[in-house]
Structure 1
Amino acid sequence: MFGKTKFEVRQAEGYRYIDLADSKKEGRTLVLLHGMFGGLSNFDPLLNRVQHRSVFVPEIPVYSLEKARLTIPELANWLSQVLKEHAVKQPILLGNSMGGHIALQYALTHPDEVEALVLTGSSGLFENDLGSSRPKRYDREYVKERASLTFYEDLVDDTIIDEILEILQSPAKLGRLLRVARSTHEHNLEDKLNQVQQPVLLIWGKNDVITPPEVAELFCEKLPNATLAWIDRCGHAPMMEHPDKFAARLINFLETNQCSRNNEEQHEEDYSHH
């Protein structure tokens, strides 16, 4: 979704992926997980800024997995299989929207197999639907209006609209998407977040209308070892809208494995620590 990635895409059985993982590169492998309407290209701006690190990006096969597996717990199981196939051990999981939800579920079910988490616009507590009413037909203006809620700036172009329309006009794809969406709403993790002991960095857009700022604050309150970093004038996909700021916060976290309030490079108005 959102265009084609500029990085080399490899094919595995049932899914595609980008592999910049290399034992000679810095640190644990960073695994990037996109959102429900997302795809590999969502992380291109970030990949351009972290190529010195070992990075693995699987495309979550929402439109090809068996329907029974289109739930957050089953997608976390799928991720476990994929990481084993690629010998990715003790990853740092970075998830946007649904990808953050999957990362949290994976950390809950595989607590000894995750080094840290980075969540941005994550579902798992509460998220607004892109549309509360379903029109009789999906026209371009409606799709543009709904898709624009993802971003603070106007980043929705004809390519994005065409991709979304192609999904919405396919009964099979739309049915799968709705099944996953239902699971993100039903699989609430609030009562389990206290079990997540890994360091967690929350990078959140202050203008996110899908998972609003109060969602980030609740995550920070419920997760035992969480730090919240805000990005102003930013919506639901900070790694796309503000890749430089996102990368700066991410790299600082990766280098310290926590975002200490005392770090001289941090600013009181941008960070809060729980």
Structure 2
Amino acid sequence: MTHPLRKEKNFSYIEVGEGTPIIVLHGLMGGLSNFSAVTDYFSQNGYKVIIPELPIYSMSLLQTNVKNFAKYLNKFIEFKGFDDVILLGNSLGGHIGLYHTKMYPEKVKALVITGSSGLYESAMGGGYTKRRDYEVIKKKAQDVFYDPEVATKEIVDEVYATVNDRNKLMRTLAIAKSAIRHNMSKDLPNMHTPTCIIWGKNDTVTPPEVAKEFDDLLPDSELFWIDKCGHAAMMEHPEEFNKILYSWLQKRNF
């Protein structure tokens, strides 16, 4: 199901359903449609799902970093008048969710991360020396998933266009450097927000040991695995992802 994009003030976002707000944070090259199964399921089960478009390619180059994205998210939460949200982030979106929770813990009821950066960033922003070679980019996009067929032509075309846009590529590289600078390993032990970690057992971008480290360092976390699954569990195994998350939220009375 496709949902209309709302545009208000300086924000563009999707909003569906009524209930406890779940704010979904997309990754570096992840579109809002990556979360369509999450949006449909949770908006029909007592939650308001909101997916803001993050200003990944529209902030000035000097401001393009994880910390400023977290501040932008806080402005969005204030604009919407929310005071107790659930944040759900994939890849860079997970990192932004973590950093926002570090800065504004009183605003976040619960955190959900899947394939999140924040501890291990070596795969972000690299490997674009052959960016004009479509087959190289196609292989890179397919490697994100356990099943390469999940990387549709539409997804590959979008990644190819992004890395061949000089403005977007410069920001992609700036974000990769920022992700390394904003490593969360020293912050996580002080973050007591309940956190659900859902990870693909076959994630090669942020490997399984990254998930284990998140679980070890966060004081109040639970780790769930999805088998035969790569970096974007909510796309590759949407039913299992939704079932795990819904069960965790219910158990915690969120």
- Both proteins in one fold, TM over 0.5: yes
For 1:177 and 1:67, the matched residues in 2 are separated by 10
1:123-155 CA distance string (max 9 Å, x none): 000034267544355211001111111111121
Compute the TM-score of the two structures, normalised by the length of structure 2: 0.93
Alignment CA distance shift 1:112-1:131 (3 Å): closer
For residue 70 of structure 2, what is the aligned residue in structure 1?
76
Q: Distance in 1 between matches of 2:118 and 2:31?
A: 19
Superposition pairs of residues 191-270 of structure 1, within 5 angstroms: 191-257=186-252
Long gaps (5+) in structure 2: none
| Percent of pairs with identical residues | 38
Determine which structure has the larger helix proportion and give its number.
2
Corresponding residue to 1:16 among 12, 15, 22: 12
Return 5+ residue gaps in structure 1 as ranges: 259-274
CA contact (8 A) 1:30 1:56 kept: yes
Counterparts of 1:168 and 1:91, CA distance in 2: 33
Give distance in 1, aligned partners of 2:209 and 2:136.
Answer: 27
4+ residue runs over 4 A deviation: 130-133
Amino acid of the structure 1 residue aligned with 2:40: N
Hey, what's the Cα distance between the residues in 1 that align with 2:214 and 2:124? 21
> Which residue in 1 is equivalent to 2:36?
44
- The CA RMSD over aligned residues, in Å, is 1.8
Contact 1:131 1:146 in 2 (8 A): no
2-side partners of 1:201 and 1:257: how far apart?
Answer: 10
Residues 125 and 173 of structure 2 are in contact (CA less than 8 Å); yes or no, is this contact kept in structure 1? Answer: no
